[in-house]
């Protein structure tokens, strides 16, 4: 069930009504959340409900026994077992084929026999996300940062909650479990202005912008067909950068909006990432839930930034290598992650020189030994540069194979070929998608509050009218969200 479809609309209409009918009975409400979420997941493929159930049972009871265990060695053994279980699930379903393929490749190069079974393993949708949810839960219990869920149904509802189940945000148990165990009352106001805006903006970003960018520019350039000139290739890459932002942030926005209507609060997942001045800042604005997860459960345990410089760089590169691998079982994803990790390390190394240069040109304080540059010029150049760096990495992220990526890089040298994609409508769609970042965070809080001041009937009519306009401009059918494949 994709979000912007009639079947989901009917499902949500039913779920919303029952949600508020049952919320006065928290125990029954939690079961309802679990049942509706499992129904949602089972709609995709009922065969994987067993996997979700197994993850729920093992992680809940593992967490309980971990919490009750006192000895350091025993606790360490418990958490190791739980991590191995969760990563084992992820590793088998997501990486078995990748592992076997590369083992065969290596074996053939070394002329040694390899007899690993070739299995056609289907990747269950949402596995990467709910595995990370489960890991954060058990690790937080191990660290003493939270207590286990009072009841397994509450944990199960947190793990499977349908708005975030298949493509995030990766919500922390500490943020959501208290809301499930002490649900909102029917007397508490519902932030409908924010919810409506998030859902409608999300549908617009996905159905109109992301789908248009994909069909008009990104897919033709990244497809392995006719060669494109450098200007067209650049535009195709830019289009993909904005497409993946619109696609993924749309899903997050809709998930947050739906949860708000049901009385639950999710964290934001994007905050105008392409306005960042540095890659470090980019990762505080892009897929915030993933980057903070990697920081708290991988980067910091490796030593984080509180160690020798060479270890910091190693930690950054390793974290992003694994972050890249999380996205998919392919070397192109690993390379994408490695590029980010290496650039982050370079940023740290060059930071003192950048500060010196900025001070010399009087960028920050307006004073200095050298010429004075307005801050907005320096920031503009920094944002432009950062966008190029991120786009270069997106080439590897989007390319299906290494050959596709190198073909695209090669195309960047062809400045004599025909330029066919730089049309008014393409540039307009790209610009609108890029500028939709202004809707992130709480930049349009006044719009949310203004909408909420209108009579409810008017709110409903406006929302229906806006949706109709979006559907009129959107394509036929709904393409899956990009992050479903992760």
Partner 1 sequence: MAHPSQHGMQIGDDRAAARKGLPLRSVLLAVGVFYVAAALLNGVRIYEETARLPYGRWRTVWLAVAWPLDRLSAMTRLDRPRAWMERHLAQKELDQHAK
Shortest CB 379 distance to partner 1, Å: 8
Active-site pick, 60, 287, 327, 340? 327
Does position 14 interact with partner 1 (CB under 8 A)? The reply is no
- What residue has token string 């392995």? 224
**Residue 219 vs 281, nearer CB to partner 1:** 281
Distance CA 51, CA 131 (A): 11
Does position 479 interact with partner 1 (CB under 8 A)? The reply is no
Residue of the chain from 13, 54, 118, 357 that contacts partner 1 (CB under 8 A): 13
Does position 424 interact with partner 1 (CB under 8 A)? The reply is no
Stretch 150-189: interaction string toward partner 1, x if CB under 8 A: -------------------x-----x----------xxxx
Does position 45 interact with partner 1 (CB under 8 A)? The reply is no
Q: Is 327 annotated in the active site?
A: yes
Element (H, E) at 413: none
Q: Is 183 exposed, middle or buried (0-12, 13-18, 19+ CB in 10 A)?
A: buried
Residue of the chain from 260, 325, 345, 430 that contacts partner 1 (CB under 8 A): 260
Query: By the 8 A CB rule, do 260 and 198 touch?
Result: yes
**Residue 151 vs 284, nearer CB to partner 1:** 284
List, as one string, the DSSP characters of 301-319.
HHTTTSS-HHHHHHHHHHH
Distance CA 472, CA 468 (A): 6
**Residue 136 vs 332, nearer CB to partner 1:** 136
Q: Alpha helices of 69-150 — where are they, by DSSP H?
A: 72-90, 96-110, 127-142
Question: Which residues have C-beta within 8 Å of that of residue 401, sequence separation ≥ 6?
Answer: 332
**Residue 14 vs 53, nearer CB to partner 1:** 14
Does position 269 interact with partner 1 (CB under 8 A)? The reply is yes
User: How many CA atoms within 13 Å lie on the side-chain side of 91?
Assistant: 9
171 closest CA partner among 289, 284, 298: 289
The helix/strand/coil state of 116 is: coil
Residue of the chain from 60, 285, 327, 340 that contacts partner 1 (CB under 8 A): 285
Residues with a known catalytic role: 327
Instruction: Report the interface residues with partner 1, using CB under 8 A.
Output: 6-7, 9-10, 13, 16-17, 20, 169, 175, 186-194, 196, 256, 260-261, 265-269, 271-272, 275-276, 281, 284-285, 288-289, 292, 441-443, 445, 448-449, 452, 456-457, 459-461, 463-465, 467-469, 471-473, 476-477
């Amino acid at each position: 069930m994709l979000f912007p479809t009639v079947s989901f609309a009917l499902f949500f209409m039913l779920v919303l009504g029952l949600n508020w009918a049952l919320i006065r009975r928290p125990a029954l409400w939690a079961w309802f959340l679990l049942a509706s979420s499992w129904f949602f997941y089972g709609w995709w493929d009922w065969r994987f409900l067993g996997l979700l159930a197994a993850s729920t049972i093992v992680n809940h009871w593992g967490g309980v026994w971990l919490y009750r265990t006192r000895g350091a060695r025993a606790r360490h053994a418990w958490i190791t077992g739980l991590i191995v279980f969760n990563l084992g699930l992820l590793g088998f379903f997501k990486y078995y084929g990748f592992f076997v393929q590369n083992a065969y490749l290596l074996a053939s190069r070394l002329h040694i026999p390899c007899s690993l079974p070739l299995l056609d393993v289907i990747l269950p949708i949402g596995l990467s996300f709910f595995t990370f949810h489960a890991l954060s839960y058990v690790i937080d219990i191990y660290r003493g940062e939270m207590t286990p869920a009072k009841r397994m149904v509450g944990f199960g509802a947190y793990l499977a909650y349908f708005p975030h189940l298949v493509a995030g945000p990766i919500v922390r148990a500490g943020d959501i479990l208290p809301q499930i165990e002490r649900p909102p009352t029917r007397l508490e106001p519902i932030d409908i202005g924010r919810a409506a805006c998030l859902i409608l903006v999300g549908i617009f970003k996905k159905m109109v912008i992301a789908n248009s960018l994909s069909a008009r520019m990104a897919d033709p350039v990244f497809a392995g067909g006719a060669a494109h000139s450098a200007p067209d290739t650049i535009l195709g890459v830019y289009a993909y950068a904005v497409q993946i932002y619109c696609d993924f942030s749309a899903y997050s926005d809709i998930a947050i909006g739906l949860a708000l209507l049901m009385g639950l609060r999710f964290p934001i997942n994007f905050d105008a990432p392409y306005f960042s001045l540095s890659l470090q800042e980019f990762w505080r604005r892009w897929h915030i839930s993933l980057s903070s997860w990697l920081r708290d459960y991988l980067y910091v345990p490796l030593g984080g930034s509180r160690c020798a410089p060479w270890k910091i760089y190693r930690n950054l590169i390793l974290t992003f290598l694994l972050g890249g691998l999380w996205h998919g079982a392919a070397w192109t994803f690993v390379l994408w992650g490695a590029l980010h990790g290496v650039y982050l390390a370079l940023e740290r190394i060059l930071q003192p020189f950048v500060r010196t240069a900025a001070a010399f040109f009087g960028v920050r304080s307006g004073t200095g030994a050298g010429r004075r540059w307005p801050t907005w010029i320096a920031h503009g150049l920094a944002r432009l540069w950062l966008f190029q760096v991120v786009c270069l990495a997106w080439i590897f992220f989007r390319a299906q194979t290494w050959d596709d990526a190198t073909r695209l890089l090669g195309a960047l040298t062809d400045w004599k070929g025909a330029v066919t994609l730089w049309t008014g409508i393409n540039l307009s769609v790209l610009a609108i998608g890029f500028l939709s970042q202004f809707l992130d965070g709480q930049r349009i809080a006044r719009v949310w509050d203004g909408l909420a001041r209108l009579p409810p009937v008017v709110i409903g009519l406006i929302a229906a009218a806006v949706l109709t306009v979006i559907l009129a401009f959107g394509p036929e059918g709904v393409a899956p969200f990009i992050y479903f494949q992760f």
